[in-house]
Structure 1
Amino acid sequence: MIVRGMMIIIGGFITAYGLEAVLIPNSVSDGGVTGLSIVGSQLTGLPLGVLIALLNIPFVYLGYKQIGKSFAVYSIIGIVSLAVSTSLMHHIPTIIEGDTLLITVVGGIIIGFGMGLALRNGGALDGIDMLAVLLSRKLPFGTSDLILFLNMFVFIIVSTVFGLQGAILSAIAYFIASKVIHIVEEGLSGSKTFNIITDEPEQMVKTIYERLGRGATYKTVQGSYSKESYREISCVINRLEESKIKEIIQEIDPKAFVTVYDVAEVRGGNFTKHDVY
């Protein structure tokens, strides 16, 4: 718990650095509650850290009611860390100026890494994600769709302070940050499931085990037109093994029918890294 708390604090520190040293000095904002806090700070002159803490209070309550106590506690740690860090770094030197493309890319990567680090360890630095989770249970839309929808209003508000160009750059930086968050949360190695229908199921499974060290499962499927029965192979691998399993399939049965799915998480069994031959 101490390690997770420290990682969340570090995530808040990194995010604050991206805001104060890259985005805000160049009139570029973030999305979510942090973006609204930046706008409020520019309009009222109140410290950004104070607004981040205040505006996130109702969302932390939502997180406590809808997601759980531990998530709310870790989120409080992250939000306080972000608020304090932005106050401490308010006059930090800007590391990039002028180049709008570089500003959005570098700023998006830095804040995305910080937010992803917090989320990976069970907390959040921004309350709008919690609101999206709550609304997704009441409305016929997915969480990601609602996050995008809510941030559209945020960037409209941002345009009143930073102008249309600033709002567009803010949206680009937010998009980059969201991709980095996903990478940090899931990791670069990730996992995939290969479903394979082949005329050589035994040879396919044997070769996958010998070369990748991966086990597989069978299930019986039937063609809707031919009415023939087949054994479908299902095998979970990490992304580093993807090219190798494709080589194996091409070598044994080039005509095999293959579907590939991204896997969010793998637990249990013997899913560990093996040597690839």
Structure 2
Amino acid sequence: MLFSGSVLAAAGLEFFLVPNHIIDGGIVGLSIMASYLTNAPLSWFVVALNLPFLYLGYKKIGKSFALSTIFSIISLSYWLSVFHPLAEVTHDLFLAAVFGGIIVGIGVGLIIRYGGSLDGTEIVAILIDRRSGFSVGEIVMLFNLFILGGSGFLLGWDKAMYSLVTYFIAFKMIDITIQGVDESKGVLIVSDQHQEIAAALMDQLGRGVTVFNGEGGFSGETKKILYSVITRLEISQLKIIVNEIDDSAFVTIQDVYDVVGGMVKKKASH
């Protein structure tokens, strides 16, 4: 998966972004700008600029992460050099920004999902996150705003705006690749008809249900709280089920980024 991700990321860069002077965020974006200024191969800068961060990752995060990242970066560098002589796919800047962002995002998402990284700024963000009140995503976003702003002075503001489009598309595709298209949702339901709702969820959706004991903060009454994990596509069906049984039930739905164990898969139909 690390190998496949690096091939996809290299293809998105060399076939769409680099020939049209559109950059991605992070170290890869800095590498594209450095290659543009010096006419040196992009693959050189991808490796050279990531080296200090790889050392930090090895020391502060762990050997397994560092080795996966080293493999991913070397593989990316190799495929960048392989794809570079080939012709670009499109001269249309909008198409290049969109499809380049999609392909790069899927590639980077595969690498992150299987324990590696292509971007040294993510390593710095993880280390800063441990010592600050900012999240890793917020720190990476701040780095990339500076990088994309710098590309405006170097490549022109139209290219910088297309680069911003690419960045947000890639960011979303990374999320989809890591979490999967079939996103999971955690559902909390508070209802006096908890038994009927739990039975309906297990029977109609085939989902496991956990029952918690709760207490009303104002009334002090004992309440039963149902918890279940469903897919994004089942949200509307769940709302219909709950509403038909108890239209006054209290329901909250949250994103679930990973699920391990438990009765998550649908039970076979009887």
Question: If the length of structure 2 is used for normalisation, what is the TM-score?
Answer: 0.95
Stretch deviating more after TM superposition (222-231 or 17-26): 222-231
What is the CA–CA distance in structure 2 between the aligned matches of 1:69 and 1:242, rounded to whole Å? Answer: 40
Residue 264 of structure 2 corresponds to: 271
Matching of residue 168 in structure 1 with residue 161 in structure 2: yes
Residues 69-100 of structure 1 deviation map (CA, whole Å, 9 limit, x = unaligned): 111111111101111111111121111113x3
Residues 170-222 of structure 1 deviation map (CA, whole Å, 9 limit, x = unaligned): 12101110100110011011211110011201111111111122221222222
Shift of 1:273: 3.1
Shift of 1:276: 7.5
Q: CA contact under 8 A between 1:49 and 1:84: conserved in structure 2?
A: yes
Shift of 1:247: 1.9
Report sequence identity in percent: 40
Residue 3 of structure 1 corresponds to: none
What is the CA–CA distance in structure 2 between the aligned matches of 1:240 and 1:274, rounded to whole Å? Answer: 17
Letter of the 1:116 partner, please give it. Answer: G
What is the CA–CA distance in structure 2 between the aligned matches of 1:41 and 1:63, rounded to whole Å? Answer: 25
Letter of the 2:242 partner, please give it. Answer: I
Stretch deviating more after TM superposition (176-185 or 264-273): 264-273
Q: 1:104 to 1:269 in 2, by over 3 A?
A: same
Matching of residue 202 in structure 1 with residue 195 in structure 2: yes
Letter of the 1:260 partner, please give it. Answer: I
Shift of 1:275: 5.2
For the aligned residues, what is the CA RMSD?
1.6
**Aligned length, in residue pairs:** 270
Residue 43 of structure 1 corresponds to: 37
- Of 31, 42, 50, 2:25 maps to 31
What is the CA–CA distance in structure 2 between the aligned matches of 1:175 and 1:62, rounded to whole Å? Answer: 27
Residues 137-181 of structure 1 deviation map (CA, whole Å, 9 limit, x = unaligned): 122211111000011111122223211111121121011101001
Q: CA contact under 8 A between 2:205 and 2:266: conserved in structure 1?
A: no
3-state secondary structure, aligned to 2:156:
helix
Unpaired stretches in structure 2, ≥5 consecutive residues: none
- Of 140, 143, 147, 1:154 maps to 147
What is the CA–CA distance in structure 1 between the aligned matches of 2:33 and 2:166, rounded to whole Å? Answer: 16
3-state secondary structure, aligned to 1:234:
strand
What is the CA–CA distance in structure 2 between the aligned matches of 1:82 and 1:257, rounded to whole Å? Answer: 49
Question: If the length of structure 1 is used for normalisation, what is the TM-score?
Answer: 0.93
Residue 217 of structure 2 corresponds to: 224
Letter of the 1:12 partner, please give it. Answer: S
What is the CA–CA distance in structure 2 between the aligned matches of 1:96 and 1:219, rounded to whole Å? Answer: 56
